[in-house]
Amino acid sequence: MKNYNAEGKNLFGEPAITREHMQNNQSVREMLGKRGIRPEELPPAEDIKKLERRVASEEKKIEKTSSKLPKKK
């Protein structure tokens, strides 16, 4: 959204783009508030590295427990 508005409004320089960024953040926060969502009260997402390790571990378990497919003739 920031990039789109920066190009559409021909914004140049850090102060103008920073103001646009802050306005976008404020608009998003207002919209979330109207829907009863407060970001600071949301539970943290699972760490991506932990998720990757868990998926890899589950894949290994599936490989060990599943039977081998027969070879094609």
**The predicted structure's pLDDT at residue 69:** 65
Q: How far apart are CA 51 and CA 57, in angstroms?
A: 10
In order of 17, 39, 46, 47, 63, the CA distances from 54 in angstroms are 40, 26, 11, 11, 14
Q: pTM here? A: 0.46
Q: pLDDT for 33-70, tens place per residue?
A: 999 999 889 888 888 899 999 999 999 888 888 776 66
Nearby residues of 5 by Cβ (< 8 Å), 6 or more positions away = 11, 20, 24
